[in-house]
A = this chain, B = another copy of it.
Amino acid sequence: MTRPAEYTRQSIMKAAVYLFAEKGFENASVRDIVTKARVNQAAINYHFKGKNGLYLEVLKTAFEKLTKHAGFDPEKLKSLSREEALRSFVSQQLRPLLFRDEMSLYIRMFAWESAHPSKIFLKFMATNTVSYLTAAVDIVRQFLPPGTQKRVALCGAIWLMGQCSVFVRNRELFAQEPFSITTDEPFVDELTGLITRLAIGGLLHASAAALAEHSLHTREVEGSIPSARTI
């Protein structure tokens, strides 16, 4: 039994994370990956049982590391006020705008999925309990009334992440003409604050709407509150 295989595995993983983050799952080809990893074509199928298998493995480690990372530590988040927790989350989501570290790659990978989820990703989310997403749901839930349905909170979390992912995905695009946005620290700080305030406003509104629904059937004119399905 030889174990130089571990080097190949890690090499592939690293290249895959980078390219999935850069282009998204569908647009990163296995040939791209093996070239960057400097390994043979067949290596991906031998070590991961195909591209899907590789992606699943990457997703697993990505969410593991994200969860362990300070920004998403459930303990730390609970010690913060709900507003601070929300801001902390948004700040983490926008991390790829400022830093090019490992965490930023994972977050950007997720940004592609939040635009148009791949089937593999959805399957992964359905089977695994991803505490990364759980953290987001928990934060959102703190702005919603106690009895709020799970899917409402889930939907709110996805919406929240969508707010940030536009900028993360199209980072390079926004840097060019005619936008010419330089994503330096003060800009990202301000963007973080803006999105946080927006989210708080949106969630509290949804909360109020849901409460009104629960209290009495006081549907009157237009602008009435339809149901707790409101995000």
CA distance A80 to B182 in the complex (A): 35
* CB-based contact A223/B193 at 8 Å: yes
Determine the distance from Cα of A159 to Cα of B160 in the docked complex, in whole angstroms: 13
Closest to A180 in B: B151
- Judge if A116 is at the interface, Cβ distance under 8 Å: yes
A146: interface (CB < 8 Å): no
Which of A36-44, A93-101, A166-174 lies on the face that meets chain B? A166-174
In this complex, the interface size class of chain A, counting residues with CB under 8 Å from chain B, is 35 or more
Chain B binder among A51-59, A61-69, A198-206: A198-206
Tell me if A150 counts as interface (CB < 8 A to partner B): yes
Query: At the interface, is chain A mostly helix, strand, loop or mixed?
Result: helix
A225 within 8 Å of B (CB atoms): yes
User: Chain B contacts of A88 at CB under 8 A?
Assistant: none
Q: Nearest chain B CB to A141's CB is how many angstroms away?
A: 15
Q: Which residue of B162, B182, B190, B230 is within 8 Å of A190 (Cβ)?
A: B230
Q: Quick check: is A103 within 8 A (CB to CB) of the other chain? A: no
Chain B residues with Cβ under 8 A from A181's Cβ? 151, 155, 229
- A179: chain B residues at CB < 8 Å are 151, 154-155
In the docked arrangement, what's the CA distance between A154 and B180, Å? 11
Q: A155-B179, A179-B151, A179-B154 are in contact. Are A198 and B190 (CB under 8 A)?
A: no
Q: Residues 84-114 of chain A: 1 if any B CB is under 8 Å from the residue's CB, otherwise 0?
A: 0000000000000000000000000000101
Q: Give the 9 A-B residue pairs with the shortest CB-CB distance, closest first.
A: A186-B226, A115-B115, A162-B166, A198-B202, A190-B226, A201-B201, A151-B179, A190-B230, A151-B178
Return 5 A-B CB contacts under 8 Å, by A number: A151-B179, A187-B230, A190-B209, A190-B226, A194-B205
